[in-house]
Chain A
C-alpha cells in the first residue's frame, strides 16, 4: 500500500500539488485523472522519487520513502516498475536487452533464467518474436507493451504508468488497459495509472482520484464517478459528446 500524507510541491513559487492525501491499495488499479497541468505527472514523479516533495510524507507499506537519500531508497526502487508516457526504452538495446536490463543489474540469475523470465514477460504482454528487434522498429503500442514487460520483469510490488494510452488508437488502448488490469490482479501489484482516457476509467478503474489545480478534488469508485454532482469533475469527464452518453 502507498500512502500520501499532505504532500505539496511548488516550482518557482507556483503550487503544483497542494496537501494531497490519499492511499493506493495493492491488487487494485488506482487511476489518477485530471486535466493537463493538474499535477498528475508531478504527483507520480514525487511518488517514485524523481521529484522531491516540499511538504508531507510518502509511505510504502508503512515505511517512509520521502526524504530518504539515494542509498536508502534503493530497496524501495527495486520494488517499483514504471511505464513512461513514451515508453523510455533504451534505444541502443534490443527488446530482449531492454527487458533483461533490470535483471542484469540487480539479480544473480543465470543467462538462461534471465532469458526465460524475459520470454515470460514478453509473452505476458502478447509479444512474440520481437526479442532481437530494436525499439525503433516497434509500433507505439508495441513499445508500450515492451515497457510494461520491462517494468514487471523484476517482479515489482508497485507499478506506475504515466498516461500509458497516450498516442494509441482506441483498440490498442483497450489492450494496454486490460494488460495493466490483468497484471495488477495476477501479481497483486499496487498499480497507479495517470490517464486522460475516460475509457480506462470505465474499464479498469478500481479507485479514481481526480486532481484539479493541484488539489485532490474527488476520489471514489467507477460507479461513484458516474453519479457524482461534483461540477469540475463532471465538466472533465463529460466534456465529450460521447462521454455524455455514459451519464446515468
Chain B
C-alpha cells in the first residue's frame, strides 16, 4: 500500500471514529434501561477483572522488588530505597499502564467481539429498526462504567503490587520488612496517585471507545469478528503507550 492510501485510510477511520463518538452523546431513550446497562458493565469490568488484576499486580510487585534488590549493588544506598523504587514504579507506571494493557486484552477484546457479533448477526440492525440509537445504547454505558471503575481497579492493583513486593522481598530474605515499609513511606508524593488516576481514566476511555468502534463497524462473519477483536487490543495498546508518554510529558515535566 502506498503512503497516500495508508494516510487516506487512517484519516477515514479517524473521521468515522469522531462521528461514532458524536452519535453516543444523546438523550437516552429511557434512563432506567441505560442505568441497568451501566450497572451490568460496572460488574463486568470491575468484579470481573479483579482476578487477573490481583494476580498480575502481586507478581509484578514481587518481580520489581527482587530485581531492584538485585541491581542495587552500591553499599551506600540504603535497602529502604527498594521500597521507594517499588512504590513509585508501581504507582506511576506499572499499575496504571500495565493494568490498562492487561484490561485492553481482557475487556477490549470482549467489547469488540460482543458488539461485532451483534453487528454480523443483525442484532444492531434490530435495535436501529426499533428506533434505538444502537451505538449509544451499547457503547455509552460501557464507556461510563469503565471510566468509573478502572480507577478503583488500579488503586487495588497499587496496593496488591506493593504488598506483593513486600511478601516476595521478605520471603526471599533480600530485604527486611522494616526496610521495605520504611521505604514505601519515605518521600511519598500524593500527586502521583492523582497522576496515575488521570492516566487510568484516559486509558479507560481509549480501551472502550476504540474496541467499541472496531466491533461496531465489523463487516462479514466470524473471521472478521476475530479480526476486530485483535485490532481492538492492538490499537488500544498502541494508543495507551502513546498517551502514556504524552500525559507523562504534559503533567510530570
Contact = CB atoms under 8 A, between A and B. Distances in A.
A158 to B, nearest CB: 10
B129 A77 contact: yes
A219 B132 CA distance: 34
A85 B30 contact: no
A78 interface: yes
Contact of B132 (A45, A50, A85, A105): A105
Contacts of B122: 84-86, 88
A70 to B, nearest CB: 7
B43 to A, nearest CB: 13
Contacts of B29: 105-106
Nearest to B131: A77
A86 B131 contact: no
A105 B30 CA distance: 6
A238 interface: no
Q: Looking at chain A's contact residues, is the secondary structure mostly helix, strand, loop, or mixed?
A: mixed
Contacts of A106: 29-30, 130-131
B20 to A, nearest CB: 14
Contact of A82 (B33, B129, B132): B129
Interface string A149-174: 00000100000100000000000000
B126 interface: yes
A176 interface: no
Interface residues of B, number: 16
B132 A86 contact: no
Contacts of A82: 125-126, 129
Contacts of A105: 29-30, 33, 130, 132
B133 interface: yes
Interface string B106-141: 000000000001100111011011111100000000
A104 B32 CA distance: 9
Contact of A102 (B117, B128, B130): B130
Which of the four size classes fits the interface of chain A?
20 to 34
A88 B131 contact: no
Nearest to A162: B122
Contacts of B30: 104-106
A17 interface: no
A84 B126 contact: yes
A77 B130 contact: yes
Given A105-B33, A106-B29, A78 B131 contact: yes
A70 B133 contact: yes
Contacts of B126: 82, 84, 88, 90
Contacts of A80: 129
Nearest to A98: B126
Given A74-B131, A77-B129, A88-B122, 16 more contacts: A45-B125, A48-B129, A50-B128, A50-B129, A70-B133, A73-B131, A77-B130, A77-B131, A78-B131, A80-B129, A88-B123, A90-B118, A90-B123, A91-B123, A106-B30, A160-B129
Interface of B: 29-30, 33, 117-118, 121-123, 125-126, 128-133
11 contacts: A50-B125, A82-B125, A82-B129, A84-B122, A84-B126, A88-B121, A89-B123, A91-B123, A104-B33, A105-B33, A106-B130
- Top 8 closest pairs, chain A to chain B, by CB: A77-B131, A88-B122, A88-B126, A84-B122, A82-B129, A74-B131, A88-B123, A102-B130
